[in-house]
Structure 1
Amino acid sequence: MLLRLRVSLPDRPGGLGQVAKALGTLGADILQVTVLEREAGRAVDDFTVSWPGQIGAAEVRERLSGIPGVRVEGVWPTREVPGSAPDYDLLMHVASEPARGFATLVDALPGLCGAEWSLALADGAVRHASLAAPASFDLPEAPPRVATLESAEFRLMLLPVEAHGLHVVVARAEGPVFHRAEVERVARIVDVVSKLAKS
Structure 2
Amino acid sequence: MLLRLRVSLPDRPGVLGQVARAFGVMGADILQVTVLERQSGRAVDDFTVSWSGLFEPDELRDRIAVVPGARVEAVWPTREAPGTTPDYDLLGHVAGEPDRAFVTLVDAVPDLVSADWAVAVDTTTGEAVHRSWQAPETVPAVPGLTPLRAATLSEGELHLVSVPMEGLHLVVARSQGPAFHRAELDKVTRLVGIVSVLARASVTRA
> Normalising TM by the smaller chain, what interval?
over 0.9
- Cα deviation per residue 1:39-97 (whole Å; 9 max; x = unaligned)? 11111111100013353211111111232211211111001111211111000101110
Q: Distance in 2 between matches of 1:143 and 1:62?
A: 40
Identity among equivalent positions (%) equals 60
TM-score by length of 1: 0.94
Q: Distance in 2 between matches of 1:60 and 1:174?
A: 16
Alpha-carbon offset, residue 170 of structure 1: 0.4
Does 2:167 match 1:170? no
Change in Cα spacing, 1:138 to 1:22, as seen in structure 2 (3 Å) is closer
Q: Distance in 2 between matches of 1:24 and 1:149?
A: 34
Q: Distance in 2 between matches of 1:4 and 1:102?
A: 27
Does 2:77 match 1:77? yes
- Residue in 1 aligned with 2:182? 180
Alpha-carbon offset, residue 143 of structure 1: 4.5
| Aligned residues: CA RMSD | 1.5
- The amino acid of 1:62's aligned partner reads D
- Residue in 1 aligned with 2:149? 145
Q: Distance in 2 between matches of 1:54 and 1:100?
A: 42
Alpha-carbon offset, residue 144 of structure 1: 2.2
- Residue in 2 aligned with 1:130? 132
- The amino acid of 1:147's aligned partner reads A
- Residue in 2 aligned with 1:31? 31
- The amino acid of 1:115's aligned partner reads A
- The amino acid of 2:146's aligned partner reads A
- Residue in 1 aligned with 2:116? 116
- Residue in 1 aligned with 2:22? 22
Task: Report how many aligned residue pairs link the two structures.
Answer: 197
Change in Cα spacing, 1:52 to 1:138, as seen in structure 2 (3 Å) is closer
Higher mean alpha-carbon deviation, 148-157 vs 52-61, is at 52-61
Runs of 4 or more consecutive aligned structure 1 residues displaced over 3 Å after TM superposition:
138-141
- Cα deviation per residue 1:135-191 (whole Å; 9 max; x = unaligned)? 112554415221000012411001111xx2111000001111111111111110010
Q: Distance in 2 between matches of 1:54 and 1:151?
A: 31
Alpha-carbon offset, residue 27 of structure 1: 0.6
Alpha-carbon offset, residue 37 of structure 1: 1.3
- Cα deviation per residue 1:114-138 (whole Å; 9 max; x = unaligned)? 0110010002100110011011125
Q: Point out where structure 1 has 5 or more consecutive residues left out of the alignment.
A: none
TM-score by length of 2: 0.91
